[in-house]
Amino acid sequence: MTSERPRDLWRPSKVARTDLGVRSQYDWTEWLQVGGFFRKSSVSSDTTDVTGATLEDLVNGESRSQLGAHISASLGSSWLDAAYRRQGGAGWAKSDQEVRGGGTLESLGGAAFGVERQSWSGGESAVSYHARAWTRSVLGVSLFGEVEDGRLGVPFFVPPKLPEDSDPGEPPPEPEEEDPAVPPSFSQGTGVRVGVEIRRRKAIFGAALLSIDQDSLYALGLPMDRGGVASAGGSRSGSEVSLDLPLSWVITGLSLRGSAQFWDKTDSWQYLPERIYEGRLSLHDVFLESENLELWVDVGARGRDPMSLPAQPQAVAEIVPFQQSWYARLQVRVSSVRLFLLWENLTVRDKNQDYPGRIQPRTRAMYGIRWTMWN
């Protein structure tokens, strides 16, 4: 995958990414499966045509990889998964171990849990937990709740090392071992979500209360916010609503879907606006006696309120303005051939941005074809 960017906004102007993945699975018995996987990604950049390129503009050319195995067991309505990943590359955990499980009881509901442990360089480790439970539906009403707690490592960028007499415009050499002067950082936090789901015929309505307690907030490590400093966290509370309303009485297969989150007001919590929303009209129907013609159509909008970003050293936090994008999706299946079209920012709004000065395209379209040649 290769991308070209405007020279006055992005450095480097050319970035190429390569991904390789292999995955296998073996059904040992009816209730036990084992498998393995390997993934590798690399990114290269070209700054030869950019004036004033600096070390921070360069992409770390070292590839990142994952090599691991997993085992899954299921017995009746209960299940258990375990996975181990050995990870290569600078700036993230050296290994990751995860165990997940759960089950259901028809008369009560169900529950699920998960434990994840990360091992970082220098002998550091981090453990996090996740649990979720829900009740069975009574008169169309079901209650649910989930909680996350623990410590997680923060991935970070390790700049490529250039010889002292090198030209910054030249492609960077393959980086060496991870710089011990950049130790990993960790963030401790707790999140809680408790709510209700109501089903009436085919209509679904959901609502929940949200709570976050985080000790620190870090920049994402992207080129645009790489100089941003970590800030103190705190507590946030909010709510969310979701709706899936069939409109088959208007057109067969038509429905109205949407969701929104509302958070308490604050000026210091980065990357979390007070309001986030998405809504769309969706149409899905199958035609012909052979059911060889299928149609999906979506028209909707997504948006958010102004958002705070990490402050640069010795500077105040920056705010990006309100953002909204109308979009349309079309997919047509003829037998095993699928044609698709995605068109974003239909209204050609020219101020959408997630970072100051990084204006998103006024409009963008993606289209293609997928052909399944055999099952």
Q: How many CA atoms lie within 13 A of 356 on its CB side?
A: 9
Q: Quick: pLDDT tens for 134-150.
A: 999 999 999 999 999 99
Q: What stretches of 227-320 adopt beta strand conformation (E)? A: 231-246, 254-263, 275-287, 293-304, 307-309, 318-320
Give CA–CA dist 35/346, Å, rounded.
44
11-33 mean pLDDT: 86
Q: What is the mean pLDDT of the chain?
A: 86
52-61, 117-126, 343-352: range with lowest mean pLDDT: 52-61
What is the predicted pLDDT for the residue at 171? 57
Of the candidates 124, 214, 138, the one whose C-alpha atom is nearest the C-alpha of residue 178 is 124
Question: Contact 272/263 with Cβ under 8 angstroms?
Answer: yes
Question: Contact 341/330 with Cβ under 8 angstroms?
Answer: yes
Q: Quick: pLDDT tens for 56-106.
A: 455 666 788 999 999 999 999 999 999 999 999 888 899 999 999 999 998
Does 55 have pLDDT greater than 50? no
- Residue 173 pLDDT class (50, 70, 90 cuts): low
In the chain, the amino acid numbered 10 is W
What is the predicted pLDDT for the residue at 52? 54
Q: Quick: pLDDT tens for 259-318.
A: 999 999 887 788 899 999 999 999 999 998 998 999 999 999 999 999 988 877 767 778
- Residue 222 pLDDT class (50, 70, 90 cuts): confident
- Residue 161 pLDDT class (50, 70, 90 cuts): low
- Residue 160 pLDDT class (50, 70, 90 cuts): low
With vertex at residue 5, the alpha carbon angle to CA 2 and CA 8, rounded to the nearest 5 degrees, is 155
How does DSSP assign 316-347, residue by residue?
A: PPEEE--EEEEEEEEEEEETTEEEEEEEE-TT
pTM for the model stands at 0.81
